[in-house]
Structures are given as C-alpha cells and as structure tokens.
Structure 1
Amino acid sequence: MSARMVVGITGATGAVYGVRLLARLRELGVETHLVVSRSGWLTLQQEMGLARSTVQALADVHYDINDVGAAIASGSFRHGGMVVAPCSMRTLAAVAHGFNDNLITRAADVTLKERRTLVLMARETPLTLAHLRNMTNATEMGARIMPPVPAFYALPSSIDEMVDHTVWRVLDQFGITAEGSYDRWSGTGKAAGTGRAPADD
C-alpha cells in the first residue's frame, strides 16, 4: 500500500474524526493530502475551535475545495486510498451519483474508478430512505460505508478512547496497523484487553 492517503473533511458533525485521523497518519509516517469543504471549516471551528492554519498544518499537502485541477483530482496521482471523515449526506449523495462538483467528490470518484479503497464515515441519524439508497449505491460502486459508531465492548473510559478506536478501525480498512494501537476483541466472553466477562443477559 502506498504510504500516501487522501483525507476529506465535510460539514457533518464529528470533525474530531478527521483531525484525529490526520494525527494518527502523521505518527505512522503516512503522507496526507487534505481537502476540507466550506461547511467542514465551520464545523471544525464550532466543534473544536480550530483555525484553518492549525488544521492545514496537520497535513503534508492541503487543497482548496474548488481546486478541481489539483493533483488528487487525477487518477494518475498514486495513493493508497481516501477517507471522508466525517462524510455529510450531501457528499454521500454526490459520490453515490457521480457528481464531481468539488474536489472532495472528484477525488472520491477518482478513488473509486481507480479501484482504490474509499471509506465514507457517514454521519447522520435518523436515516431517510434517500440516505440508505445512497449508501447502497456507493457500496455497489466499491465504497465502504463506515459510520463512526462507538464500540462499547472495548469498555472505553473516555470520548478520546472511543474516537481513537473508530479511527484505528478505519485504518484497518487500509491495512494500516500499529502494534498495541487499540484493544482488539480477544474472543467470546472477554472484553478486549481486560479479561473481564460481560454481564449476564
């Protein structure tokens, strides 16, 4: 797998997933190419109080959402895959129907056509029939729909642990692992890394 990934951040709630993903990839020495939607910048400021320059500094390369001539808009640009974290329903719909109307959706389309891994951390609830059908369409095209659902079986003790567990599960989709990065399930009857059996039903 190429040690280079594309990361998109949209305006859905959950900006922390995109930020934490960038941080973990940097720790692992993976080159990151970042593009943030207009609403994504608003959510990053609202939820995390982060300025553009701070977020951009987390990536090796960053692009403007309207720069459809950027390197990541071409299939000839080699990378190991793309994650949209979080993925708004608007972006999901655009990907599902091939609307290359900005750099995130264009990069996602290129990722699919080149048969590379595309993970969409779709974030919305409850889901309408349109949302569900768009998820089906995107999946049939080769995308992986991965809502940021907390794994309570891992017995997290903080929000940070829940976020990290989800981010590492996303990186698993690309074969990116780090020894001891998070507690994996060790078998029926035991919570990962604890040795404790779950309570009776």
Structure 2
Amino acid sequence: MTEWWAYGLSDFLMFSARTWQRTLELHNRDWFPSQALATLLATVMLFALRARAAWAPRAALLAMAMAWGFVAWAFHWQRYAPINWAAQYFAAGFALQALLLAWRALAAPPARVADGGLRSLVGDLLLAAAILYPLLALAAGRPPVETEWVGLMPDPTVLATLGLLLSLHGGRNRLLLPLPLLWCAITGATLWTLKSPQWWLAPLAGVLALAAFPIPPRAAPP
C-alpha cells in the first residue's frame, strides 16, 4: 500500500491542462457576449470608487455578490463539477460569499470609500488586474476563447473582490476576507499542478491584500 506522503498534488487532479482550457472555452461560448458587459461594469465600479461616488460602495458590493453567486452556479456547479468532484464544495463556498457580500452591502453602517494610502493603492491595483486578467491568457499564447473574465470566472472575480474590500472602510469587511484568501491558495495550487504560467498571481494577490488590510486597533485596557 502506498503511503499517503508519496502522493503529490497532481495525484488528486482528475483532469489535464487541456481539459481545464476546454472548460474555460465552453463556459465562454455559453455566456458570450456577457464578458464585455461584465468588464464594462467592473471598470465603471473602479472609476466610481475613485471618484468617491456616494452610491458606489453599496452598488459595488451588490454587483460583486451577484458575480460570486453567478460563478458558484454557472461555473463551479454547471461547468467545473463534471471534471472535479471538489467543485461542488467550491460552489457552496462561493454561494456563501455571495450572501456575505449582499449582507455587507445592506448592513448598517454603510460601507465608505477608503481615504487613500497603501490600502487604496493595492485595492486599485487588484481591481485593475481583475479587469485586465484576460490579457494573461493572450500573453501566454492562448486563444481569446480560453481567457478568464471578471464576474464570470473565479480568479479575476476573487481579485476584484479583494481590491474592493481594500477600497472600502469598515471593520466588518474582515468577515469577507477568509473565503477569497482560501480560494487564492486553492487556485494557486491547482494552476501550479497544471503548470500554468500564471499560477502565482492569485496567491500573490492574497498576500498583498492581507499585508495591506488595516490591523484593528487594540482595545484600551480597563
């Protein structure tokens, strides 16, 4: 009997890199041309947050909640689960995050745009990276139909979420961090196993977000 430590990550994946790329292709074909609309909405969200529009925080959180819910159902449950048994649990996690984002959007006190500094800079960087994410596939020589789009697929949606949370004030935002950070680790390990050249991007985004997120002040001693 083979000992458990003899197994590597590749032994737990039931699909190849080509199967993964084919999954992306089929998902893109199913939802074309919504990619352009999702990218436009994410770009508007970024500029509205930088303009400090009063409606922007709530609208952005609700839009991100819908994106997580869509990815949970349309990508993880419908498209990814047939090739990866773990995708059903990914779908549940993304659905939970969608509910948390909707709760944060509607909870009092309302979220406010951060005042600048390192957290806003990293937030803008991650939001921009999420919007420009399809260029990574093109740079790697893959066809446009195999690209990943914010709001439709997990990785750029998670990057946009981390960027959004850094762009907003509020201690409650910390409750929305664990699931995106967990996904950064999961997708990094998966893409590394598949020998994808962009395996490092989501883990790096998670590290940057964690480093830039403000540490809550300690309560004063009684």
TM-score by length of 1: 0.27
Q: Which is higher, the Rg of structure 1 or of structure 2?
A: 2
- Name the one with the larger helix percent: 2
